[in-house]
Amino acid sequence: MKEVPYEVFARKDRGDSLRHVGYLDAMNDELARVYAWKTFDEERWFEMCVVPRSAIIPVNRTDGPFSQKRPPQ
């Protein structure tokens, strides 16, 4: 099993928008949750989420860090 990149999003207060706060590498979703909470703990976040980078679907760019060759749907 190898580590994969996860993007980390958080909101400070209820009603705030989620914002991108960084990324990390983890071997699975559970470790990603723990790593995010321990790594990005400088704020008192109301909510924090991790998303595997491979789950991000580019809308208007075919280049850049989140683009990858995806099979046609």
pLDDT, position 61: 74
Structure tokens at 60: 């208007």
**Contact, 50 vs 10, CB < 8 A?**
no
- The number of folded domains in the chain is 1
Q: Is residue 34 part of a domain?
A: yes
Using alpha carbons only, give the angle 15, 24, 43 rounded to the nearest 5 degrees.
40
Per-residue pLDDT reduced to its tens digit, 2-34 = 999 999 999 999 999 999 999 999 999 999 999
Q: pLDDT band at residue 62, thresholds of 50, 70 and 90?
A: confident
- pLDDT average, residue stretch 42-62: 90
The answer to whether residue 67 is domain-embedded is no
Comparing 19-23, 37-41, 48-52, 56-60, which segment has the lowest mean pLDDT?
56-60
Q: Where are the beta strands (DSSP E) in the chain?
A: 4-11, 19-26, 47-52
- List the CATH number of the domain containing 49: 3.10.20
Range of the domain at 14: 4-55
